[in-house]
Structure 1
Amino acid sequence: MPSTAHEESPEPPADDAQSAEALLARVADGDKGAFTGVYEALARPVMGLACRILHDPAQAEEVTQEVMVEVWRTARRYRPERGSAKGWVLTLAHRRAVDRVRYAQAATQRERRADAVLAGREHDEVAEAVEDDDERRRAQECMARLARMYRVPLVLAYYQGLTYVEVAAALSTPAGTVKSRMRTGLRLLRDCLEAR
């Protein structure tokens, strides 16, 4: 009784190009046994090529498995007039391994760019925080040097959020006087900050 194309028939390893091509033609028809023969004949050369490109046996093994699955799925695309079965499979392997190298390089470059951006931001944030702290400290020192009649209205206005009319009411001082003292206090504060 003749076997159908889809039955599994054990095949010896394909030792020469002719048998690999014949097996690949049968794989295109869905013959799992023929695929076993193709795998046994070509997985080792695929692994060797992938290792040479990737310099990592674990990744080379992954590429080999991916390529052999691709061979099973796309065996119909093989054209014997364009080259040997082994050449076709090794071309698939080469492309897959090179793609993996390019992907790894692109990922590394993306990580480096992200690290550089983050480092720049961290540097900027640290610099800004230091600068803000320094300015705050200087402002507090200058504020402490102001005479009480200038300092208190400014503290009430800028730290407590009162208007100059509210400051005048809180200090029981005429609004015009408070406004004048606040202007003088701000000028003295500016002079102090510029001198530092």
Structure 2
Amino acid sequence: MAEELRRCDQQRDTASTQLSGLMLAVATGDTAAFARVYDLTAAQVFAVTIRVLKNRALAEEVLQEVYLYVWQNSSKFVATRGTVGAWISIIAHRRAVDSVRATEASGKRDWREGTRLAQGDVDDSYDRVDNHAELQHLTDALSRLSAEQRQYLDLAYGAGLSQAGIAAHTGVPLGTVKSRTRSALRELRRCLHNNPVFGTD
């Protein structure tokens, strides 16, 4: 067992020394050396990216970005600070984490955009529906709107689409969408304010 462990250590040391030499060649623009570095490290690096991303397609995309970075920044590798495999794996881990954060940020932006009207511009009459009677009065008020007005309110507050999203969905110019949505809200407000359950402002 001790002999096997010693052989494994020697193999790792040999591979590490080989990779360090290859990285020196990569820094001079040696594409063959770079291909060899890729062959010797890609499996390990891919394991890092897939573990973080949990998605093969994203992991493969990050893998490509990592080796592009390695090719362009090979001169930054310092052998005395660690092995080539560890250096590339650290880069891969950081890129994978960045990818996760970017995906989450994009999702949050989409969510904020989709709910922007409901959170900021939505008529507060919706917020005041807190019991069955009020819900019934709101339903009655909505029934008094035209089909087009209900459509715009449904898309904005039911489906959570932004005004740009509504424009894309309906094929109507954005300016027209804004105008029609405001008009629908004004009419809904008028209907609600004429109802004693909601009262007037």
- Aligned equivalent of 2:76: 77
Q: Does 1:130 align with 2:188?
A: yes
Q: State the shift of 1:42 in Å.
A: 1.1
TM-score (norm 1): 0.57
Find the counterpart in structure 1 of residue 93 from structure 2.
94
1:120 counterpart residue number: 119
Q: Distance in 2 between matches of 1:35 and 1:16?
A: 15
Deviations 1:126-153 (A, max 9, x none): 6543122456x89xxxxxxxxxxxxxxx
Aligned match of 1:52: 51
2:139 aligned residue: none
Alpha-carbon distance between aligned partners in 1 of 2:192 and 2:114, rounded to the nearest angstrom? 28
How far apart are 1:53 and its partner, in Å? Answer: 0.3
Q: State the match for 2:19 in structure 1.
A: 20
Structure 2: how far apart are the matches of 1:74 and 1:110?
32
Mark the runs of 5 or more structure 1 residues left unpaired by the alignment: 1-14, 139-193
Does residue 39 in structure 1 map to residue 38 in structure 2?
A: yes
Of 38-47 and 119-128, more deviation after overlay is shown by 119-128
Offset at 1:107? 1.2
Which is bigger in relative contact order (C-alpha 8 A, separation at least 6)? 2
CA RMSD of superposed structures (Å):
2.4
- Inter-partner Cα distance in structure 2 for 1:114 and 1:63: 27
Question: Aligned-pair distance for 1:122?
Answer: 6.8
2:28 is the alignment partner of 1:29: yes
Q: Output the TM-score relative to the length of structure 2.
A: 0.56
**Percent of pairs identical after alignment?**
33
**Aligned equivalents of 1:26, 1:57: Cα separation in 2:** 31
1:21 deviation in Å?
1.2
User: Which letter maps to 1:129?
Assistant: E
Matches within 5 A, 1:156-175: none
Q: Distance in 1 between matches of 2:49 and 2:32?
A: 25
